[in-house]
Amino acid sequence: MRRGTRAAGGATRRSVGAGSPSGAGGSERRRSSWSRCWCRPGCRRPARSAGSATSTGHAPTPSPPSPPPSPTTRPSPPSPSSPAATAPTPPTCWARTRCWRAPAASTPTSSPRAPRLITLTGGLDVVPDLTFEELRQLLTGRGDTLDAVLVPAMEQPEPAELAAINAWLRQQSAAGALTVSVCNGARALARSGLLDGRPATSHWLRMRGLRADFPAVKWQSGLRYVDDGDVITAAGVLSAIDGALRIVERLADMDTARQAADAVHWRHYSPGAPARMPVQGLDLADLVAPLNSSYQTRPSAIGVQLVEGAGELELASVFNGYTEQSVVGHTIAVGDGPIRSEHGLTFVPRRTLAAASGDLDRLLVPGHEAARAQAAGTGRPEYVHPADEFAFDAVIRDIARTYDVPTARFAAKTLEYPVMDVELRGGAWPWRETLVFALLILLGVALALGTGAVARRLRT
């Protein structure tokens, strides 16, 4: 996740910032001429004027333009009982843009008086900025085109929306945009036909299904990204940082990419070429994942307090790290109202601190600046990022300390850490979960044998 935004209209085609959460480096001179946008078909709301972050929402049907929400009038979080429809996360676009990688899996939620929300990994809701049509009007008005389009992992869209997304991706590629997929976003890109006959990569857990579903694509394993000219595909999660730095190299230069890597403390930058990595697969140590998901005796209900100005990479490390990458629990965004992230994204909490406090095992506050300022509310929170370091390192160490080292190693493996150079201290194995799992199996066997014995006696 991370960091976009300042609307502006420079006429030069240059890029600063990584598609990874921390966006980036580069000089202020370059940084000032970029803007970020989210795009989806079928929504209507005008963008903000140049010089401010755009943040627009969705309505089910076109409606007359209305003023954008002010920073003090943000959408309310959706009610847990409100109806929700499943749809994909939109592509993220560069248009004179400093941009960030959009996280996976979305479930938009709409209400009559609020912009439509997009649910990201781990239960974090973001307010989209622009629709495809609004973006087209904006670019047309500036006589501009997109430099790059970033495609995240998406859920299977409805047929009409799938057709709109595929057509839009093909249109932008034909117009000269660098088209980039992240993780399982390669599936969305493959569906558009833009990967046919070309080398590509994705997350190692997805490769078997992708090879079966898209045999025309030359799928490659063991690379953090594949650059095939006007298309770049990045592997899983943290490989997106390498893919994003490659975009910066392509649109700017290596020095700017190196500054971007330094800005987010990414110590694995490979200038000019993708770093190789082991071809991964599931092994015996990965049994920690089903153990954690079947029965968790340690803290599993994790509240994440949204704090104004939080870094997008810091948010991503928490909402990704504790959920689908380690399977230790579920996270929920809590706070007293919508917040703006460090680079201008609008995030909306699911519940207030007061309403959620009784249901939480832990309350985490992401962000180095929040830790420095100790700017949090009630609930005796834990500050995740006390040190100024790569954001995911703190989460991996906390998983090892709070749960166990094998779980932290599994999280690092699924996050695609290039090498495991983070010192991990914690339990050697989730023994309590293993014991509970074994007892449940024994109980099931005993019930089955007992039921069989009763059935035989009744027959006789």
Both tokens assigned to 136: 């087209």
pLDDT digits (tens, 9 = 90+) for 300-332: 999 999 999 999 999 999 999 999 888 898 999
Q: What is the pLDDT of residue 437?
A: 82
Residue 191's CB: how many other CB atoms inside 10 A? 18
pLDDT band at 114 (very low <50, low <70, confident <90, very high): low
Mutual orientation of helices 239-251 and 254-263 as an angle, nearest 10°? 140
And the tokens for 279? 């071809």
Question: Distance between CA 119 and CA 305 in Å, rounded?
Answer: 16
Q: Which of 125-139, 174-188, 231-245 has the lowest mean pLDDT?
A: 125-139
Residue-range domains of the chain with CATH: 28-50+86-119+128-263 (3.40.50.880), 284-430 (3.40.50.880)
- The residue-averaged pLDDT of 242-269 equals 97
The partner residues of 154 in beta bridges, in order of sequence, read none
Is the pLDDT confidence value at 66 over 90?
A: no
For the cut 50, the answer to whether the pLDDT of residue 67 exceeds it is: no
Task: Give the strands of the sheet with 301-305, arranged side by side.
Answer: 330-334, 301-305, 362-365, 382-383
d(CA 269, CA 261): 7
H or E segment to which residue 133 belongs: helix 132-142
Task: Count CB neighbours of 373 within 10 A.
Answer: 12
Comparing CA positions, the residue from 48, 50, 133 lying closest to residue 346 is 48
